[in-house]
Amino acid sequence: EQSSGINAEYGLLISTDPAHNIADSFEQQFTRVPTPVKGVSNLHAMEVDSSPPEEGLEEIFADPSNEGQNFMKNIMKDVVGNLPGLDEFIALTNIVKIVESQKFEVVVFDTAPTGHTLRLLSIPGSIDKVLRQLIQMKSWVSGLMNTMSGSLGMNHVNMDQLDELLPIVERLNQELKDPDMTTFVCVCIPEFLSLYETERLIQKLTALDIDTHNVVVNQVVYPDKDKEGCTACGLCGARARMQTKYLDQINDLYEDFHVVKMPQMPCEVKGVQMLRKFGGYLQSPPDMSKNSVHDLVKDL
């Protein structure tokens, strides 16, 4: 995923993983705002949390000139603020604003593990349903709120903010489900738990109508050979034989997918130079029948 941003004309890499690691990968610090990546002229990166700043709901409901509106804000923060996924939704809308303000052509999300990611991706659809139900109840709720605010000597409350939120949610939904705009690249390793989790992820993405047709298989072991062509490391050979079973299953399960098998590298994949090299192998996988993993990094 990181190399996709590097090869873009003007790209942004966003980490939404609570345990951010892009700073380690690029060996520089990132914040909540897009920061140029050192050594890559066409790439910015940022690290964001899935929870928004405290002012997130206040921006939606508050109106400094309307005392009744601020009374509503406090109540709506308790009512709407407890909706499952609203925090993440506000964070998503903040990210969209940042992306649009700087006209990035390609945006790559480095997401958290499966459970967290599925929650994040399902939020726009869930919020859409809840908002529609609230809008249907708006006249009743608005009347109740105005009665309460009137009895306290406050101005009338305006609930049109709910109508303003709905187009934002609809747009996020449409963009997530548009295969020309969004696709999801699944990354796994050739082991049972990872393969099982990847299959669950792909089934859920399909149910959410989110495009996915790429699978990257990381850490594939290609053992060194001795002069006679035999495996030089017993442990490496055992790992390779174990992985072969799961690689065969991946080939069967995802025969219609674009599957890229990335070798276990003999060194850490970090720093711009190494990431460029690794990204090149993502686009043009090396022929491991003719190369050892040491050959892949000998010029670094």
Indicate which residues carry an active-site annotation: 17
Cβ-proximal residues to 263 (8 Å cutoff; 6+ apart), any chain: 220, 221, 222, 281, 286, 288, 293, 296
Q: How far apart are the first and last CA of the chain?
A: 21
Distance, in Å, from the CA atom of 256 to the CA atom of 106, rounded to the nearest integer, reads 25
Q: Are 38 and 272 in contact (CB under 8 A)?
A: yes
* Closest listed residue to residue 205, CA positions, set 257, 252, 170: 257
Report DSSP state, residue 290.
T
